[in-house]
Chain A
């Protein structure tokens, strides 16, 4: 089945630094979504980006579909960015979504 691998598993930054998160997947994805999960568990959709580059606020996602990878860039990190970032994919022949195990980000003041 589809697999999604995220790196790094954890990341510690000082406030103001940039973060680069990676997502690699094993088979063709027609939908790719980045989520933020707060320490309390709530999931928030950040970006849907099956291909190309998308920006929202301080976030930029670049997905290269042919190479089966996506990145999430967080610029000028803030302490409130701390949490887990999850990458999830689905393929056109299924409504199932497969999640990676996430990158745990900690931003220090």
Chain B
């Protein structure tokens, strides 16, 4: 069973507001991934980290999204200015070597 913790479980924001969500990976897992799952069940990779360093990220993440995984603190994903199209389930996963991934319960974001 996954021990990845994500908070909050639900987040409601108005357009233009910041939306921040957090993830605590499984202990000892240096690799962290963020995904967005939309209402059509489609997953979109956003960004991943190895320890505190960004490994890969998509354009969307580079522009309006910011993410970090500081040492000894939860990882976070923040949308600087929320848009209606950002409404989705945001999933965090951690991994020991980047192969098998273990997911948290997700943060469901609703942008009104």
- A42-B99 CB under 8 A given contacts A94-B56, A97-B45: no
A64 within 8 A of B: no
Secondary structure at the A interface, as helix, strand, loop or mixed, is strand
**CB nearest to B102 among chain A residues:** A45
Judge whether A99 and B43 touch: CB under 8 Å. yes
A62 within 8 A of B: no
A96 within 8 A of B: yes
- A102-B41 CB under 8 A given contacts A45-B101, A95-B98: yes
Q: Mark A15-52, 1 if CB is under 8 A from B, else 0.
A: 00000000000000011010100000111110010000
Task: Give the CA-CA distance A99 to B42 in the complex, in Å.
Answer: 8
Instruction: Find chain A residues with CB under 8 A from B40 CB.
Output: 101
A71 within 8 A of B: no
- Please tell me the size bucket of the interface on B: 20 to 34
- Please tell me the size bucket of the interface on A: 20 to 34
A63 within 8 A of B: no
The minimal Cβ–Cβ distance linking B82 to chain A, given in whole angstroms, is 19
A90 within 8 A of B: yes
Judge whether A43 and B99 touch: CB under 8 Å. no
A-B contact list, 25 entries, CB within 8 Å: A30-B99, A31-B100, A35-B103, A41-B89, A41-B105, A41-B106, A42-B103, A42-B105, A43-B106, A44-B2, A44-B103, A45-B100, A84-B41, A86-B43, A88-B101, A90-B99, A94-B56, A95-B48, A95-B95, A96-B45, A96-B56, A98-B45, A99-B43, A101-B40, A101-B41
B residues adjacent to A (C-beta < 8 A): 1-2, 31, 33, 35, 37, 40-43, 45, 48, 50, 55-56, 89, 91, 93, 95, 98-103, 105-106, 108
